Amino acid sequence: MVPRFDYLQAFVRVAETGSFSEAARRLGLSKSMISRQVSSLEADLGVRLLHRTTRSLSPTEAGRAYLERCQRILADLDEANLLVSHLQAVPRGRLRISAPLSFGIGHLAEALPGFLERYPEIELEMGFTDRHVDLVEEGWDVAVRIGRLADSSLIVRRLAPVRRVVAASPSYLERRGRPTRPEELPGHDCLTHGGAVASEWRFVDAAGQSIPVEVHGRFHADNGDVLRVMALAGLGVVLLPTFFMGDDIRAGKLVPVLEDFVPLDASLNAVY
């Protein structure tokens, strides 16, 4: 006969606490009920599990062996219950996500209605900025970032590769010439991301060798769309993800250069 679960639970609590009264308190039952359950368990098994005296209560040798197995069973059951509850839990609460301005508006925003429909208990706040927000200080839950990341204690999950291309307008190339190697870029006006006077662009040649190049220019911006507009105006060479310039390249408004040299791909990452 397989013992009832409540009998096992009663025995374990009594053996662990050394008291019928304390076991009853923890299980929310009467002392007499706990006593009957333990006695019924012993009767079902045909063995005494507890030494009972007026002053003490302790497991017998059989009781100690049985206790160890029962504790394992109860722990496994607790773990199984926890797993199921997590699987059935409905995400809820306020979620704050920071994302790059152009990527967020042009691509991420399209996925947000479906996300909110799937998780009706989530209240979502989006912040679109090209500034790297401080998640801890500013209270953001997740930041979506593109490119190389600074070392930190935050968790980084790579979502997708981001292919980049070097391009310039036909008018710029006619005026300044077409670069054929990355090493020629320092002689060109390069439109760079951020406020630094110089930026490092990295390429890989056909042999797989890395080629870092320090580029310069008269215009810097922290937004890819702005850099694209300046490239369209013929003000320089730009290095951007293809999602910024794909339509312009297909329309002939921008021309890819250095096609034998691959810019190191960036990554789309979730940081939290």
Average pLDDT over residues 184-191: 96
Instruction: Please say whether the beta carbons of 34 and 14 come within 8 A.
Output: yes
Q: Mean pLDDT: which of 40-44, 79-83, 186-190, 195-199 is highest?
A: 186-190
Report if residue 158 sits inside a domain.
Answer: no
Report if residue 49 sits inside a domain.
Answer: yes
Instruction: Give the residue numbers spanning the domain of 235.
Output: 164-265
Q: What is the pLDDT of residue 3?
A: 64
Report if residue 191 sits inside a domain.
Answer: yes
Residue type, 82: L
Among 157, 113, 152, 139, which Cα is nearest to 270's?
Answer: 157
- What is the number of structural domains in the chain? 3
Together in a domain, 78 and 104: no
Report if residue 157 sits inside a domain.
Answer: no
Together in a domain, 123 and 168: no
Strand partners, 94: 123
Q: Give the model's confidence band at 173: pLDDT under 50 very low, under 70 low, under 90 confident, else very high.
A: very high
Secondary structure (DSSP) of the chain: -PPPHHHHHHHHHHHHHT-HHHHHHHHTS-HHHHHHHHHHHHHHHTS--EEE-SS-EEE-HHHHHHHHHHHHHHHHHHHHHHHHHHHHPPP-EEEEEEE-HHHIIIIIHHHHHHHHHH-TTEEEEEEE-SS---HHHHT-SEEEEES-----SS-EEEEEEE-EEEEE-HHHHHHH----SGGGGGGS-EEEESS-SEEEEEEE-TT--EEEEEEE-S-EES-HHHHHHHHHTTS-EEEEEHHHHHHHHHTTSSEE--TTSEEPPEEEEEE-
Together in a domain, 174 and 83: no
Report if residue 271 sits inside a domain.
Answer: no
Report if residue 118 sits inside a domain.
Answer: yes
Instruction: Please say whether the beta carbons of 191 and 235 come within 8 A.
Output: yes
Together in a domain, 83 and 101: no
Residue 71's CB is within 10 A of a number of other CB atoms, namely 14
Reported as a single tens digit per residue, the pLDDT across 50-100 is: 998 877 888 999 999 999 988 988 888 888 888 777 666 678 889 999 998
Total residue length of the chain: 272
Together in a domain, 107 and 75: no
Reported as a single tens digit per residue, the pLDDT across 142-163 is: 999 887 776 567 888 888 888 8
Report if residue 184 sits inside a domain.
Answer: yes
Q: Model-level pTM?
A: 0.61
The CA distances from residue 49 to 4, 107, 238, in Å, are 15, 66, 80
Distance CA 43, CA 71 (A): 20
Together in a domain, 80 and 98: no
Return the residue matching tokens 């990341």. 149
Reported as a single tens digit per residue, the pLDDT across 111-131 is: 999 999 998 989 999 999 888
Q: What is the pLDDT of residue 4?
A: 82
Q: What is the pLDDT of residue 116?
A: 93
